[in-house]
């Protein structure tokens, strides 16, 4: 009888302590991003840091995938004379406007193992001359991240950037 009580005590203790060992996924399957920092290096380069969380870990494009669209998009906005930020249409003389985007292919960040949730930071390096359109004195970027399942993150906006 004593052995039965001992086994019962271990079983009851296991019921209470076993759930503490299982990792719970605190993040949703859609990426959630926050703007961290924008570091300008003059007219021709900058770094934009974006923090992210993703519950199912499908951030980044697989190395063999050459057909998927870029997954990090930065929409260029400039402050107009009226003080309102507007998307910049690269071709002003045509009827079809084309908003300026910087887009990037984030490498596959999916961790190995059973627990796939991700929490990290992406550094987008803007390296084009010039990254700011001539005549724009204050700009900012609207940023989104798309995972491999097609979930699009929330939109975040950088701080106002005074063009050097």
Residue bearing tokens 């991003």: 33
CA-to-CA dists, residue 36 to 10, 115, 133, 144, angstroms: 48, 25, 24, 13
Decide the pairing of beta strands 156-157 and 85-87: unpaired
- Predicted TM-score (pTM) of the model is 0.78
Mean pLDDT of the chain: 82
Residue 92 has pLDDT above 70, yes or no: no
54: which DSSP letter?
A: E
Task: Name the CATH topology of 26-162.
Answer: Immunoglobulin-like (2.60.40)
Residue of 154 and 65 predicted with greater confidence: 154
Neighbours of 87 (CB within 10 A): 15
Closest CA to 133 of 37, 39, 43, 42: 43
- State the virtual CA torsion across 57, 127, 103, 96 in degrees, nearest 10: 170
Which of 18-22, 38-42, 45-49, 71-75 has the lowest average pLDDT? 18-22
Q: Which tokens in the block code for residue 122? A: 């992406």
Per-residue pLDDT tens over the stretch 122-160: 999 988 766 888 888 999 999 999 999 999 999 999 999
């Amino acid at each position: 009888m004593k052995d039965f009580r001992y086994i019962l005590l271990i079983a009851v203790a296991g019921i209470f302590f076993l759930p503490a060992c299982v990792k719970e996924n605190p993040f949703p399957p859609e990426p959630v991003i926050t703007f961290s920092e924008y570091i300008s290096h003059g007219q021709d380069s900058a770094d934009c840091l974006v923090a992210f969380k993703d519950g199912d870990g499908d951030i980044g494009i697989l190395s063999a995938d050459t057909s998927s669209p870029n997954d990090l998009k930065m929409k260029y906005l400039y402050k107009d004379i009226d003080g309102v930020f507007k998307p910049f249409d690269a071709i002003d003389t045509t009827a079809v406007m084309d908003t300026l985007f910087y887009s990037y292919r984030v490498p596959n960040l999916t961790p190995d193992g059973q627990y796939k949730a991700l929490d990290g930071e992406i550094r987008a390096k803007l390296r084009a001359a010039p990254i700011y359109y001539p005549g724009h004195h204050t700009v900012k970027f609207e940023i989104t991240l798309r995972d491999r399942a097609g979930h699009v993150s929330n939109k975040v906006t950088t701080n106002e950037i005074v063009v050097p």
